[in-house]
Amino acid sequence: MNVLVTGANGLLATNTILALLARGYRVRGLIRDTKKFLLPPQDGLALAIGDITDAASLARAVGGCDYIIHSAATTDMGLLHYEDYHRINVMGTEQVIQAALAHGVKKIVYVSTANTFGYGSLQQLGDETRPMKAPFSEAWYARSKAEGERLILAAKDRIAVTVVNPTFMIGAYDGKPSSGAIIQMGYGKKVVFHPPGGKNFVHVADAAEGVIRALERGENGAAYLLAGENLSYRDFFKKLASHSPSQPLLVAVPRPVLRAAGYLGDALRTLGIRTALSSVNMKILCICNYYSNSKAQQELGVVFRPIDAGIDDAIHWFKAHAML
């Protein structure tokens, strides 16, 4: 069986490709720049140069594939206009749907984000029944992924579709780095400044397993949270310290300081200056957005490990590539 994986150089996509190959699938990775691909050449893997926003290159990549795992997206928090996210995360998704229909693809697995669902507390975790809520409903990336979800799910009567919603992923093959920047931020440091909130952390290898389980047994039109361990940022850095050569002093950044930084970012953005600082992004750092993985465990059979395993894998990979 042939599987096209879009955004093949991403953290989750790379881990998913490895897991697919280990299962005997033939994989085609859609990528814009082959120099950024992290895996060596291997049997069963081919790369297609192209872009989900370019219909011609996408059609060439989709041709002959039985399934699509659509993980390509822009996650850049510094973009200045919603249209920048919409073009890739929404219109690109529409292109994937149309290409899949035109080439007789059997199923699409759409990689979204946990934040399209409403988060909860440790006492009452967020799950797939909860509607998206602020501040994520105000965040352009999360909004664009929610819009992409709606497009995918609207196609369920024409093609089988399943959505996966991973939380914050930690592990190997984080070449940018993306979410793994939090490892670089805290590993081996004497002092670590951390936000007051918290989030759900998932081992990227477990999330990749969830993607494949969704491909193989996910219900048409269903969505599955791929969630691991719910932790405050402080508790995450305590875990990271147990894998580090030194024990840092952990200092919580006061909410007023983060709010002020957010307002500064808003001002810079009005001047056309790209920055990840914004009032919305700072609000996100101040909340605890926690999620349940019960549905993925029960219906897909995914086993989620404590995030220590992901931390350990990320540290070893970063060190092996002189990134830590």
Amino acid residing at 320: A
Three-class SS state of 202: strand
In contact, 116 and 126? CB cutoff 8 Å = no
| Burial letters 116-153, b for 16+ CB under 10 A, else e | bbbbbeeeebbbbeeebeebbeebbbbbbbbbbbebbb
pLDDT at 246: 86
User: Mean pLDDT for each 10-residue chunk of the chain (324 residues)?
Assistant: 97 98 98 92 96 96 98 95 97 98 98 98 98 97 98 98 98 95 96 98 98 98 98 98 93 98 97 96 98 98 98 98 95
**Domain layout of the chain by residue ranges:** 2-173+199-229+290-306
Tokens for 252, please give them: 């919580």
Q: How far apart are CA 108 and CA 77, in angstroms?
A: 26
Selection from 115, 112, 19 nearest residue 71 by Cα: 112
Q: How far apart are CA 5 and CA 103, in angstroms?
A: 15
Q: How far apart are CA 186 and CA 36, in angstroms?
A: 25
Three-class SS state of 264: helix
Q: In what order do the strands lie in the sheet with 160-166?
A: 45-49, 26-31, 2-6, 67-70, 107-111, 160-166, 223-226
Backbone angles phi, psi at 165, to 5 degrees: -125, 80
Three-class SS state of 232: strand
Q: How far apart are CA 272 and CA 57, in angstroms?
A: 32
Tokens for 122, please give them: 């440790």
Q: Model pTM?
A: 0.96
Q: How far apart are CA 309 and CA 135, in angstroms?
A: 30
Please state, as a whole number, how many other Cβ atoms lie within 10 Å of the Cβ of residue 81: 10
- Provide the 8-state DSSP code for 308: H
CATH number, span 2-173+199-229+290-306: 3.40.50.720
